[in-house]
Chains A and B, each alone.
Chain A
């Protein structure tokens, strides 16, 4: 019987300050052996419990893509005991990783379809994993147009800036970035995600929308997607609830009878419409 509580020790090789406010760091973790890497087969949208030994565990979406072998990447906001301890970790330190946990974005269903990825703030992590996965050259042909709409309060709060710059130049992906209010030197759009989505989203025909962001963004983006004709079955969302075990036993992350950790975190809007709004 595999023990789902045991973390995989991994080595922190990079602790990178991702945003200008310094509150989000991206951690690159390296497997200690090939065997360890084989024991962690994951897909975009899954998450893992990161642990700082002595402080505890907390769940984070996996920001790297399975198409990037050798390491795992997590972008973590500093908010609590574990995330604060993580921010203080130094390169070479040991971090525990328990997972992969949860389900993943339905990439098989996306085949032959257009995809619009809509993200806000630091919820862009697993969306980055998804986009990177679909952009992999041998896989890119499986999908139609890939559009990414990504917004943050200001340019300094956007994650993965170098990568976004590369996507700007990449003909295989259509990237639209937006910020809440104009600042000098910003060449992208200005405005909130729902309004920008209404303006630039591709036709809903044969298209999936994948949405991840703060509750207020979700709240106002949903009616826009409906207006654009996206059926609830083709709106994919990733939920976040407080979690502990990650394996459907400890009881706290339930939305109705579903556990976000075990039955999610990825749900279609149609599935969520059947559940009480306890998230």
Chain B
């Protein structure tokens, strides 16, 4: 199927009447996913959004419930967002990150109704990346510029139009409802050409990385690797697979609400015990945990690396600590130990 670019705003307007539609919109010098009220607001030509689409399902700050407490009892009111949503223009790396996060919010023992309800009610429409940026390394972590994981529809930009790949029943229903027309053989061929020509130039070798991390927890390499890191947490806040949070009360006396806010393993207080003891005392332990979590613990628990290669942590690190270099260093850690 195919949709002409000039028909996109009209298509989005139609969706808006039925769904809450999120699309990248311009915010100063970058784009962010926001609910749109007009299809014309969607900016589909820019590089990936500053913040990942994760925020739609797991907001930076989210009310869990409100309460009113008296001697007789506590009245708790939960508002779980079950609005039907369409995320339009999500990049394959961000779509893939949500599939990874599903493992966390739907684990072997507990389900998070806030995240999972939003996931169940959302249709994901992706746009492939014709021109991956210099910090993209999705192909090194099992993704790709036209990867379809986590998507219901994938749009391939062929110049004046998007060729649409239908990837799920939800996607099929949306495409039929939208009245997309069938793509001609020529359109299909040009989509195939675009996909073939899109090149992720940066490759990170992850061969043997997990084997190294399985044994190198106490190796001296961690004394060096974190040195540049300021512990600012920017990488964790911009990461599409980071999921740490804190739970706090926002209240005046007994009338208030419980809220969860993003938190970060980069901060010392994150693991600080009431007694004053801290299992991750310094930046070394905290940075090691970040790498271990994404490239070892997550793999042990869920069989996947918890990194989608979006490159946000590289672009936004104030001291240019580049995770690609870190991973290469880790892979060579034995050599460093010997020298």
Point out residues on A near B: beta carbons under 8 Å.
1-7, 9, 32, 51, 53-58, 77, 79-80, 83, 92-94, 96, 215, 240-242, 244-245, 247-257, 262, 276, 278-279
In the complex, the answer to whether A249 meets B73 with C-beta atoms within 8 Å is no
Given A1-B111, A262-B109, A262-B110: A54 touches B274 (CB 8 Å cut-off) = no
Expressed in whole angstroms, the Cα–Cα distance for A248 and B113 within the complex equals 14
In the complex, the answer to whether B69 meets A9 with C-beta atoms within 8 Å is yes
In the complex, the answer to whether A56 meets B105 with C-beta atoms within 8 Å is no
In the complex, the answer to whether A94 meets B78 with C-beta atoms within 8 Å is no
In the complex, the answer to whether A54 meets B249 with C-beta atoms within 8 Å is yes
What DSSP secondary structure best describes chain B's contact surface?
mixed
Which residues on B sit within 8 Å (CB–CB) of A55? 249
Within 8 A of A (CB), among B115-138: 116-117
Task: Give, as a whole number of angstroms, the nearest-CB distance from A58 to chain B.
Answer: 8
Expressed in whole angstroms, the Cα–Cα distance for A240 and B300 within the complex equals 22
A256 nearest CB neighbor, chain B only: B297
Is B265 part of the binding interface, using a Cβ–Cβ cutoff of 8 Å? yes
Which residues on A sit within 8 Å (CB–CB) of B339? none
Which residues on A sit within 8 Å (CB–CB) of B326? none
22 pairs, A vs B, C-beta closer than 8 Å: A5-B258, A9-B69, A51-B249, A53-B256, A54-B252, A55-B249, A57-B247, A77-B274, A242-B273, A245-B245, A248-B107, A249-B105, A249-B245, A250-B247, A251-B243, A252-B263, A257-B296, A257-B298, A262-B107, A276-B218, A278-B279, A279-B279
Which residues on A sit within 8 Å (CB–CB) of B263? 244, 250-252
Point out residues on B near A: beta carbons under 8 Å.
64-65, 67, 69-71, 73-74, 76, 78, 104-105, 107-114, 116-117, 217-218, 243-249, 251-254, 256, 258, 260, 263, 265, 270-275, 277, 279-280, 285, 289, 292-293, 296-298, 300-301
Task: Give, as a whole number of angstroms, the nearest-CB distance from B296 to chain A.
Answer: 7
Task: Give, as a whole number of angstroms, the nearest-CB distance from B54 to chain A.
Answer: 14
A250 nearest CB neighbor, chain B only: B245
Which residues on B sit within 8 Å (CB–CB) of A53? 67, 69, 74, 249, 251, 254, 256
In the complex, the answer to whether B73 meets A215 with C-beta atoms within 8 Å is no
In the complex, the answer to whether A56 meets B247 with C-beta atoms within 8 Å is yes
Expressed in whole angstroms, the Cα–Cα distance for A252 and B111 within the complex equals 18
B296 nearest CB neighbor, chain A only: A257
B298 nearest CB neighbor, chain A only: A257
In the complex, the answer to whether A54 meets B247 with C-beta atoms within 8 Å is no
Which residues on A sit within 8 Å (CB–CB) of B277? 215
In the complex, the answer to whether A1 meets B297 with C-beta atoms within 8 Å is no
Expressed in whole angstroms, the Cα–Cα distance for A278 and B263 within the complex equals 19
Expressed in whole angstroms, the Cα–Cα distance for A250 and B246 within the complex equals 7
Given A3-B113, A5-B258: A54 touches B243 (CB 8 Å cut-off) = no
In the complex, the answer to whether A240 meets B249 with C-beta atoms within 8 Å is no
| Most-contacted residue by chain A among B246, B274, B296 (CB, 10 A) | B274
Expressed in whole angstroms, the Cα–Cα distance for A96 and B76 within the complex equals 11
Known: A6-B65, A240-B273. 14 other contacts (CB 8 A): A4-B111, A5-B258, A54-B254, A94-B74, A241-B271, A242-B271, A244-B247, A248-B110, A249-B245, A250-B246, A262-B108, A276-B218, A278-B289, A279-B279
Which of A5, A215, A251 contacts B64, CB < 8 Å?
A5
Which residues on A sit within 8 Å (CB–CB) of B253? 54
Given A54-B249, A257-B297, A262-B109: A249 touches B243 (CB 8 Å cut-off) = yes
In the complex, the answer to whether A252 meets B270 with C-beta atoms within 8 Å is yes
Which of A54, A245, A252, A255 contacts B265, CB < 8 Å?
A252
In the complex, the answer to whether A56 meets B248 with C-beta atoms within 8 Å is yes
